[in-house]
Amino acid sequence: MIGVYRAGNSLLHRTPAGAKLLALLVFTTLLLIFRSPTTMGVGLIVVVLAYALAAYTPVVMLQQIWPMKWIVILLFPFQWWIAGWEAAVVVVGTLVLAVAAAGLVSLTTRTTDLLAVIEWAIQPLRYVRVDPERVALLLTLTIRVVPVINDLVHDVRDARRARGMERSVRAYVTPVVIRTVGYAERLGDALVARGVDD
């Protein structure tokens, strides 16, 4: 499965995932605390510099915020009209800058590295009897299962087409879910056989 990550060798790519996540948290929190057009201006400079630091062109940054184009186009004039230009800049700016910054972290960090941070972060859950290794197994297992379920869905879709029931949603979802549960049972048996419960 291809993630959002884009390979590279920039300073940002080499920074540890945990540090980038912490920086993202600080950045978005500051945006929420200091809600002024000045903050947005500084934030924009920071984000643009960060993208440059990752050796990305502004086009890459635009791609990250492109899915929000309609929100920006509709929301900005509306906010301006309701609450003035300062409020419009703050509301739209907070949203766009947070998405751009978060997108940059995902662009420069491998999925496996982010999962490793998550596994590290859930270590304290040991004390409430949650086994972090089991959670890690669950996450990697799911990544493997997604293509299996995808194939299964395609099988059901083909069967439905063969029977001329393309329009029936129930003829689609019911067999998909029954087969998913059946697959999970076999997978569970395989895990038990490999001693996961021992």
Partner 1 sequence: MSAQSPLQSPPVAPPGSKRFLGARDLALVAAFAALIAVLGLPGTIYAFGSSVPITLQTLGVMLAGSILGWKRGALAVIVFLVLVAAGLPLLAGGRGGLAVFAGASVGYLIGWVLGAAVIGLLVQARLPRYSIWWTGLANVVGGIGVVYLIGVPVLVFKLGTGLAALASAAWFLPGDVVKVVIATFVAAGVHRAYPQMLAPLRNRRP
Residues 153, 176: Cα–Cα separation, whole Å: 6
Task: Report residue 114 as tokens.
Answer: 């982010």
Q: How far is the CB of 52 from partner 1 (least distance, A)?
A: 18
62 binds partner 1 per the rule CB under 8 A: no
State which residue, 54 or 101, has the beta carbon closest to partner 1. Answer: 101
Please state the φ and ψ torsions of residue 6, each to the nearest 5 degrees.
-120, 120
Q: Which stretch binds partner 1 (CB under 8 A): 8-16, 40-48, 54-62, 94-102?
A: 94-102
Residues 77, 72: Cα–Cα separation, whole Å: 9
Residue the block writes with tokens 């929420």: 32
Identify the residue among 56, 64, 89, 93 touching partner 1 (CB under 8 A): 64
Rg of the chain on CA atoms, in Å? 23
Cα separation of the two ends of the chain? 31
Enumerate residues 9-38 that contact partner 1 by CB under 8 A.
Answer: 24, 28
Enumerate residues 137-166 that contact partner 1 by CB under 8 A.
Answer: 137-139, 141-143, 145-146, 148-150, 153
State which residue, 44 or 75, has the beta carbon closest to partner 1. Answer: 75
